[in-house]
Amino acid sequence: MTTELNEAALRHARALVRDGKVVRDERDDWSEAAPTADEENAFIEEHGWKEFARWHLGVDRDENPQTKQAYSFPYGDFRRVHRAGVISAESRAGQYDHTEIADALKKLLELIDAER
């Protein structure tokens, strides 16, 4: 498994933050805000895998790109970036030594906090 930074997702997240499409929630709020499996499936059905990928900062190019296993480190609810999702993903990326992803998430969090 080789998870790398999904540059397209990072650009998408930054654009959403600049457009004010952010929920400034706290870390513990992510468990309630994160999309459920049914919401993910509905999103994929309506928008496709390419759009689904844009909501995940990690991508494993060894996996089939039309499976959820290919994507990790979600940061939003398919409408907005969630500060809580960014914090949670940064923590997990650091825990699993995905340094490039953790650094990108840290900078994204700084952008969110600067836009207040």
pTM confidence score: 0.93
pLDDT, mean of residues 3-11: 97
Model confidence at 68, pLDDT cuts 50, 70, 90, reads very high
Only one residue has tokens 């836009």, namely 115
Cα 110–16–104 angle (5° rounding)? 40
Each residue of 27-63: pLDDT tens digit? 789 989 999 999 999 999 999 999 999 999 999 999 9
Residues 6+ apart with CB under 8 A from 71: 6, 52, 53, 55, 56, 58, 59, 60
pLDDT, mean of residues 20-26: 93
